[in-house]
Structure 1
């Protein structure tokens, strides 16, 4: 169907996505830094936006505990001694530098953290979406096992839906983006005290 085709088009491999909207990702990464303090234990997902965020954190003075299922990110951070790094085990998703599947989900079920920083494939007023169900399952586990949730999303993903809904927009603590969200989002987010962070 057309819906599935659109989802596949957005499910590009990691290297294909690295330089897409790169400036927006870097702006978002800088904005997200304000939510991190030294000593934090955080989940980071496999998105290229969170990869840029991880690179930003690597340059900070913070001592951090980071758990991720992104192999590419783990390689980037493994020489940063102020970061205590955990790479989630599981099945390798070839071309995407991520670990997925039952083993990864079981491991995540036994880890509790304070903060989860994540991105998504698409976003609309009904929810936050992933184009791959197995990646979506990992994000659901990370969401369930963290207390505070921060969505890092560039404006190219607004007003689109995909195959797998991970959660509702009202369930996050903050949405960090490069442009103000469309008006139809604002009422729900205000009612649920979701902070919206954009460049000044």
Structure 2
């Protein structure tokens, strides 16, 4: 098979969901070196994205939702996720709350519980708003203010993160995809998450079910250590299966009551 035809066939295989190097080798009867070389060539043409151990299709990015849209969407689900995440915060912990409205829900849960026994570090001005009137010890890292997310970003924020370590980091995202990590609208957002993950002993990703396997933005923060996914997706939700197949991930599915309270269903 000529190289061009072979790579076209491989592109179609990746787009149809065949994303692992091992299965592509078996399907095409080719060596791992040849498959990797073809995947690299397709990635160089921006037809696919290379991932650890394989590849993934490139989706057309979607317009970023406004802050007001994110505040109004899935409020009960975010509150339930926030309460579930708060249960992981132990006395004496120093934790980081990432940008986003779901991590802001965690901040509200900590404030309402009167958690004066923890320290919160954040780049999220919504978290500051939730905690400023409480007695929860709070540190805001500096940087350029991104109005659409009400968070601080950029070189100053990145530098600040090199000066602190935290017991637990609670991260939000525009999307989370197995093997690729956290999806964000800008390179600054993605890179700050990457910096944060290096400084945290434990990682928790807080996302509503609509963000599972969602790759609507163009910038990525890979997750290179064990982490916990906390989501309102039902335990039988099809979108959870790819995460169950991923090593190092603990899944906590939250049942959302009418009141917005949550209860963990599975781990």
TMscore range, shorter length: 0.7 to 0.9
Whether 1:196 aligns to 2:254 is: no
Tell me, what secondary structure is at the counterpart of 1:3?
A: coil
Tell me, what secondary structure is at the counterpart of 1:171?
A: coil
Tell me, what secondary structure is at the counterpart of 2:214?
A: coil
Whether 1:151 aligns to 2:205 is: yes
User: Aligned residue for 2:138?
Assistant: 85
Give the Cα–Cα distance (whole angstroms) in 1 for the partners of residues 166 and 69 of structure 2: 30
Whether 1:51 aligns to 2:104 is: yes
Unpaired runs of 5+ residues, structure 2, are: 1-57, 256-264
User: Alpha-carbon deviations, 1:9-54, whole Å to 9, x = none?
Assistant: 2x22322211111111111112112211122101101110000111
User: Aligned residue for 1:140?
Assistant: 194
Whether 1:177 aligns to 2:235 is: no
Q: What is the number of equivalent residue pairs in this alignment?
A: 191
Give the CA RMSD over aligned residues: 1.8
Give the Cα–Cα distance (whole angstroms) in 2 for the partners of residues 102 and 171 of structure 1: 24
Higher relative contact order (CA 8 A, sep 6+): 1
Unpaired runs of 5+ residues, structure 1, are: none
Give the Cα–Cα distance (whole angstroms) in 2 for the partners of residues 132 and 174 of structure 1: 24
User: Aligned residue for 1:70?
Assistant: 124
Q: State the 1:196 CA deviation.
A: 0.8
Give the Cα–Cα distance (whole angstroms) in 2 for the partners of residues 120 and 129 of structure 1: 6
TM-score of the two chains, using structure 1 as the length reference: 0.88
Give the Cα–Cα distance (whole angstroms) in 1 for the partners of residues 226 and 205 of structure 2: 7
